[in-house]
Structure 1
């Protein structure tokens, strides 16, 4: 994830809002020792920065559960639309006849700053999404603490309040466990923004066992980015902690979410800072239609809110995506196609989806030692998913380095009347490997044909050359030598499926020029054309018979169709 970004006008407005909360307009009580709220315990002023003293001038005490009016709305498969509504101080006797099925696991959902629960906002949409699944094997409890979250412009008060929200939710879960003979392992806690931090504070109070799963949706960054782990969401808060970062930043000028990976597994869509379709220019119509206040709020928080939209999205309703996110050194390497394979059971990739079935049963792998970051790209609107292909090109010997473009048209086993155009721009050198990440709106299946040709970077990407005056004369023919093209299918939840839809096209010492197109087909044996030339053999031009290969059955696949190298 990048750590710097130019401050735009919309972010500036939110910055002003935070400044207002930092004692300029807000009255901060003096530090008089902890405040206590009955069974929920005692609380000091909130930590703002781990290196600042506790009695900070901008630290806040949390407000009481009564003042925050924390309520729980309970839904189950018995009645998906009419909840049982309970206040924070409900007793165990009042919990015995609920719209609740203890045989099913339970999802608890907590909103964030200035937000609230109702049936027609994102929390209601997510509840409907979960309960209309065919299996319908979850209860859903939405937590409304809107009197504690709507503290604008005093954001820091709401940030302090989440500690009490977490304590109240943990106590509520404890009572449910007593009444229905369940354990903390029965619960998944999901929160957005400040709600994600509240989920962490809930998890801190649930022990023996810990909550099975916590999902933090773009956990709030302001007032939590520079605090100790016990004062923010962290992997120790649950048996498995997942975070999804969509608007992370070093500070509020960069983003509303936390940039630090805070889960066992941290997913980073589109680099984790800005989401496609959330550019400032796209927020202008909202300002004009909805007015300055609501329009700016929507525009500023667009990337921040994308996290919960992804949770109410079922990609399988659109196509057989089975999207995976991949571990990589950084987002730049991921975008360059350097990370595109993984073995079953490894931590090299994880499903980006299946939040309410697959992830409900998972725990960190035995090899896990520290937060692992996974990268994936999504689209501007639904369907958010892509089909991903990692393309690797291995060059051979005996050519001069060439700074240009390798233009390829790829054809798949699906939609074979259509070709996808790919342009790899590199300074190509002998005996090197070059990678590319291709994203397609629809599946091409297994790639069965690649037409390749060199182009100058000065040419249009459509392949139309710029006109050159006759006085310049003919340009010297350029060429590179390719030994192998490998195309790895990156979707699919099983290694066998990814192998089945991946391809190696091996044709050693094939010359690619700017003058003609060369065609590659999948290999049928260790050396596609049966040529056992050594590494220093002279490059060969493709024969007219095969146009790059002698494979007369492009659908044949050898046992070497995929390797497991990144």
Structure 2
């Protein structure tokens, strides 16, 4: 006897299998394709909230009804694919973008053209840009606004985005360049790379400027994560394999995806150099008004008007070694009684949670009766700070076994929230020993 209770699950499975076969996928190549070379073929895969896990291949001459041109459209453009493999981060970025807004997400699949030889991939960026330009123009003819278009390009994809933007005389709404490729783009004029004139707003992140990424500024704001070079938890030697070559470069994508999830935000500080930033010389954000310094990532668009007024801005921030990458920034002012050299570690405690900031990027020189300002970057945000722990570590060249740093006053100011600073008076910090205390609200507004 046929068991009808099994019919519904079978029908559902059939529908799911049908839909799975109906989904269009990113081009999958193998090492063989990369070795013999491929010819450029650009495919556009549409994802929406209704079809977040199922790509729709878009025609270049006849727009799909699934592409709702009344909604904003975000293009994701990958970079060089030496082995022809699919970027591991595509799904995460697509999902995160759809989670943030009801938009059209179009994955630009130019794997055939980006695989194999880097030199041919560079040559294909302008060819792919011509193809994309025709599609965007088709969208425009059917009512899409150029201002509602956002292109997110990684590595070579950043420059490809710029070429498309240049073809529209910079009228595209926004281009985000994630560690734009450096090799073969260091020379030549702005027309040969991503630059601020390519869109109404161009934001750029640098994470590997000493190897695969570009060194120069290329946006209305250029962010430098951890100075733009070595990223935390990335391999330092070639013996780590392929991760050594791509970890710093690809971190730019991971940081941007993290900014989409809104777990926390990375506040970035305009500064002339990374060293000045670490030294605490760039904690003022008066030029940005009540909004304060811009945050890195998707939400930097909120600072667009200020950044366009400032024209070109270099901003720095540091990150944790893994997600959530964002840190919380404080200004730590110290007035000392004696002269010493060393490093400071600070901890914030709240309801069993601990946040740590290690200030060891350079040897600190404390002078007698002299105020010193430090930038303390904690690995997480804890509120309220019920207790504070400080540890002083003298420089290794110090031979005195009982080195002590006497602190007349410390003042801890949250740089990201308008709240009253915390103070403490008269502390004795012994060599490499933690001192924990309860802070009190500072009585005065000035140190």
Contact 1:84 1:98 in 2 (8 A): no
Residue deviations 1:40-64, cap 9 Å, x none? xxxxxxxxxxxxxxxxxxxxxxx9x
Give the structure 1 partner of residue 320 of structure 2: 379
- Aligned mate of 2:55, from 83, 96, 100: 83
The answer to whether the aligner puts 1:69 opposite 2:5 as a matched pair is no
User: Alpha carbons of 1:352 and 1:437: their partners in 2 closer, same or farther (altered >3 Å)?
Assistant: same
Q: Which of 342, 349, 352 is 2:296 aligned to?
A: 352
Inter-partner Cα distance in structure 2 for 1:479 and 1:158: 58
* Structure (1/2) with the larger helix percentage: 2
Q: Which residue of 1 aligns with 2:180?
A: 219
1:297-333 Cα distance to aligned partner (Å, 9 max, x none):
x43111111111222225756x5x3321111221122
- 1:368 aligns with 309
Are the counterparts in 2 of residues 188 and 214 from structure 1 also a CA contact under 8 Å? yes
Q: In structure 1, the residue corresponding to 2:163 is in which secondary structure?
A: helix
* Counterpart-to-counterpart distance in 2, 1:220 and 1:303: 12
Between the aligned partners of 1:383 and 1:478, the Cα distance in structure 2 is 36
Gaps of 5+ in 2: 1-35
Q: Does 1:248 align with 2:167?
A: no
- Contact persistence 2:357–2:376 (CA under 8 A): no
CA positional deviation for 1:387: 2.6
Q: Contact between 2:155 and 2:178, CA under 8 Å: does it hold in 1?
A: yes
Q: Give the direction of change, closer, same or farther, for the CA distance of 1:324–1:177 in structure 2 (3 Å limit).
A: same
Once the 2 structures are TM-superposed, how far is the Cα of residue 76 of structure 1 from its aligned partner?
1.7
Superposed displacement of residue 352, structure 1: 1.9
Aligned residues: 407
> Is residue 262 of structure 1 aligned with residue 218 of structure 2?
yes
CA distance 1:422–1:415, change in 2 (3 Å): farther
- The change in CA–CA distance for 1:189 and 1:423 in structure 2 (over 3 A counts) is closer
- Distance in structure 1 (CA, Å) of the matches to 2:115 and 2:239: 25
Structure 1 residues 304 and 389, CA gap change in structure 2 (3 angstroms): same
Residue 189 of structure 1 corresponds to 151
Q: What SS class does the counterpart of residue 324 from structure 1 fall into?
A: coil
Could you say if the C-alpha distance between residues 161 and 126 of structure 1 is closer, same or farther in structure 2, counting changes exceeding 3 Å? same
Query: Equivalent residue of 1:190, what SS?
Result: strand
Q: Does the 8 A contact of 1:105 with 1:187 survive in 2?
A: yes
Structure 1 residues 453 and 100 mapped into 2: Cα distance closer, same or farther (>3 Å)? closer
Number of the residue aligned with 1:322: 265
**Does the aligned pair in 2 maintain the 1:74–1:98 contact within 8 Å?**
no
Mapped contact 2:330–2:375 kept (Cα < 8 A): yes
The answer for unaligned runs of 5 or more in structure 1 is 1-25, 27-62, 250-254, 288-295, 461-465, 469-474, 492-497, 527-559
Q: Alpha-carbon deviation of 1:426?
A: 2.8
Map of 1:24-103 to 2, 5 A cutoff?
67-86=39-58, 90-91=60-61, 94-95=62-63, 97-103=64-70
| Cα distance change on mapping 1:348 and 1:374 into 2, 3 Å | farther
- In the alignment, which of 312, 337, 341 is matched to residue 404 of structure 1? 341
Q: Is the 8 A contact 2:132 2:164 kept in 1?
A: yes
User: In the alignment, what sits opposite 1:160?
Assistant: 123
Q: Is the 8 A contact 1:428 1:480 kept in 2?
A: no
Q: Quick check: 1:332 aligned with 2:265? A: no
Residues 112, 149 of structure 1: 8 Å contact kept: yes
**Deviation per CA, 1:69-95, whole angstroms, max 9, x where unpaired?**
1111112222222222135xx22xx21
2:412 alignment counterpart? 487
Shift in Å, 1:453:
7.8
What is the rounded CA distance, in whole Å, between the counterparts of 1:143 and 1:518 in structure 2?
A: 54
Is it true that 1:230 corresponds to 2:174 in the alignment?
Answer: no
Q: Tell me, in whole angstroms, the C-alpha distance in 2 between the residues paired with 1:385 and 1:316.
A: 12
What is the DSSP-based 3-state SS (H/G/I as helix, E as strand, rest coil) of the residue aligned with 2:304?
coil
Q: After superposition, what is the alpha-carbon deviation per residue over 1:152-178, rounded to whole angstroms, capped at 9, x for unaligned?
A: 2xx222212211222221221110121
Map Cα deviations across residues 75-119 of structure 1 (whole Å, 9 max, x no partner): 2222222222135xx22xx21x33222232110111111269998
* Equivalent position of 1:239 in the other structure: 200
- Indicate conservation of the 8 Å contact 2:294/2:303, yes or no: no
Relative to structure 1, the CA distance from residue 478 to residue 364 in structure 2 (aligned partners, 3 Å threshold; closer, same or farther) is same
TM-score normalized with structure 1 length:
0.63
